[in-house]
A and B are shown apart, each in its own frame.
Chain A
């Protein structure tokens, strides 16, 4: 039981508990807080795999910007506790079975795949930001520019959508 295995199980348990809590909580703000826990746990897992830049970006962008947006919207819209209707309770059990089947199918497919991917060598080397930025700006420069355009469109769209009507 090496140290990295212990850390992996702790972080994985944290992520799964956060995801289950997202489902079980009644108030959306508690679901949002659970999702933040999941994201921080995933950032820890990225660090464990040596992807330090991705871990930092995950916390800054996902945890520090996107989830803040969610929390703002929940506060502004004064979202309350969820109501229960008859439809949802009925479909709960078969739904759970189907989801377990889906996840099991995906996991089994991967587990039966090529040996080289299963237990490939993880040398524990940290991937450097320099290499990632070399890749982004040399091989992936076209998608990079497209995403900046996408963000511009999203900013404009969100601004226009959230405007109050001029009555």
Chain B
């Protein structure tokens, strides 16, 4: 038994990592739907889900149960193989892209094996290119779903949506080239390390300042890729019935749903890694007191949850919320007490906070902006976004070349 474990240790570690990450991603997806409904509701001066569990926290669970028990009809005349393949493809590709993202710089030493945070090894030399490859294949899920449904509205919605995704894919990949020129590698870890060249600059060393054009192009193109507001015409409820997933019921619709939110998470990860320094702290490296920031945030938040929970209206809430609050506060206390864990958690903490900020911006836009008309959408992608990203590449190359020619720093 021991020798079997030792011989296949890497494989077993990878399998455990995959299972863990899958669980985490699916839970984050579920609570992202809760988060979205709550935030959009509060922006519209209403409460959102607040009956199912304290503060509506068990709403995703109720939604999951609903999806399991709802009837799952297959329309007549569909191409059975493609009809079943499309949501599987969308979900599989969306989840695969999460596997390529590194979540932290330092590995955990476990019985002599280095366990890195993130499934792919940190020296995948084509990191960002592999992510784009997975995104490029994601068009098939949408196009095949629309076509196989044997109905007018899904076909139109699917064709429009896939045309939109292909058009914005160009702008997406071009807007990243500036970052790649500055970092000199496709490797995500090296891109973050290139932003840490001046550790005393903190937030000023991140890629977003020199690459502000690239960042806006990337963010807008990413919203169009994930079919979110304001680019969600192909799947909006008031247009085209529901677009390419009209004929998909309960569980298959849930698969498309999860795929969309997972690609949102992936894009937020990419934004934070490439433009906002990934796991780097915004404070200069010499301000070591900022290492207590995770605890400084978690402990008061946990205490507030306890205080709010004690005064909650239902008995269930009065039990659950203080429990959750205690867990959060205890986690913060652990970070203060164990400095080794504190140092290790710095990287993932900053990356996760940046991802959460981007997810909030996504949801904020959903609650605020009206949607583009289809022809406006396409002309925006081809006539504005693509030329701007090309100009960004040219400018970046000029600046890098000028630095090389005339010395520079």
CB-based contact A63/B136 at 8 Å: yes
Residues on the B chain within 8 Å of A56, using CB: 126, 129-130, 132-133
- Say whether, besides A36-B140, A52-B126, A30 and B186 are in contact (CB < 8 Å): no
A60-B136 in contact given A29-B82, A72-B159, A129-B186 (Cβ < 8 Å): yes
B residues 123-137 near A (Cβ < 8 Å) are: 125-126, 129-130, 132-133, 135-137
Q: By DSSP majority rule, is chain A's interface helix, strand, loop, or mixed?
A: helix
Q: In whole Å, how far is B33's beta carbon from the nearest beta carbon of chain A?
A: 28
8 Å CB contacts to A: which residues of B76-126?
79, 81-82, 85, 125-126
Partner of A68, one of B129, B130, B139: B139
A68 near B140: Cβ-Cβ < 8 Å: yes
Count residues on chain A whose CB falls below 8 Å from chain B CBs.
23
Q: State the Cβ distance, B124 to closest chain A Cβ, in Å.
A: 9
A111 within 8 A of B: no
Q: Is the CB of B129 within 8 A of A71?
A: no
Say if the beta carbon of B35 comes within 8 Å of chain A. Answer: no
Does A59 lie at the interface of the complex (its beta carbon under 8 Å from any beta carbon of B)?
A: yes
Interface of chain B, main secondary structure: helix
Q: Which of A56, A65, A71 has the most CB of B within 10 A?
A: A56
Contact partner of A60 (CB less than 8 A), chosen from B81, B129, B155, is B129
A71 to B139: give the CA distance in the assembly, Å. Answer: 11
Say yes or no: A129-B125 contact (C-beta < 8 A), given A27-B79, A60-B136: yes
- Asked whether, in the complex, the Cβ of B136 is within 8 Å of the Cβ of A75, the reply is no
| Residue pair A60, B133 in contact (C-beta under 8 Å) | yes
CA distance A126 to B155 in the complex (A): 42
Q: Which residues of B contact A68 (CB under 8 A)?
A: 139-140, 143, 162, 166
Which B residues lie within 8 Å of A33 (CB)?
82, 85, 144
Interface status of B147 (Cβ within 8 A of chain A): yes
Task: Say yes or no: B136 contacts A64, CB within 8 Å.
Answer: yes
Q: How far is the CA of A60 from the CA of B174 in the complex (A)?
A: 13
* A59 partner, pick from B133, B143, B155, beta carbons under 8 A: B133
Q: Is A128 an interface residue (CB 8 A)?
A: yes
| B81 in contact with A30 (CB, 8 Å) | yes
Say if the beta carbon of A8 comes within 8 Å of chain B.
Answer: no
- The range of chain B's interface size is 20 to 34
A74 to B126, CA, bound (A): 32
- Digitize A55-98: 1 where CB-to-B-CB distance is under 8 Å, 0 elsewhere: 11001100111001001100110000000000000000000000
Residues in B with CB closer than 8 Å to A76 are 159
Interface string of A116-152 (1 = CB under 8 A from B): 0000000000101100000000000000000000000
Are A65 and B147 in contact (CB-based, < 8 A)? no
Given A33-B82, A59-B133, A68-B143, A129-B166 contact (CB < 8 Å): no
Q: Which residue in B126, B133, B139 is a CB contact (below 8 Å) of A129?
A: B126
> Which of A27, A52, A63, A75 contacts B125, CB < 8 Å?
A52
Q: Is the CB of A64 within 8 A of B147?
A: no
Residues from chain B with Cβ under 8 Å of A53 in the complex:
126, 129
Let me know if A29 and B147 touch, CB within 8 A. Answer: yes
Across-interface contacts of A129 in B (CB, < 8 A):
125-126, 186
Question: Do A29 and B125 touch across chains, with their CB atoms under 8 A apart?
Answer: no
Given A53-B129, A60-B129, A60-B132, does the pair A75, B139 have CB atoms closer than 8 Å? no
Q: Which residues of A contact B81 (CB under 8 A)?
A: 30
Question: Given A71-B144, A72-B159, A75-B159 in contact, is the A63-B137 Cβ separation under 8 Å?
Answer: yes
From A52, A55, A64, give the contact of B139 (CB < 8 A).
Answer: A64
Bound CA span A72–B155, Å: 11
Bound complex: CA of A27 vs CA of B126, how far in Å? 36
| Given A56-B130, A75-B147, A75-B159, A126-B125 contact (CB < 8 Å) | yes
List 6 A–B pairs whose Cβ atoms lie within 8 Å, in order of A's numbering. Answer: A29-B79, A29-B144, A36-B140, A55-B126, A60-B132, A60-B136
Starting from the known contacts A56-B132, A64-B137, A71-B147, 14 additional A-B residue pairs (CB-CB under 8 Å) come to A30-B82, A43-B133, A53-B129, A56-B133, A59-B136, A60-B133, A64-B135, A65-B136, A65-B166, A68-B143, A71-B143, A72-B159, A72-B163, A75-B143
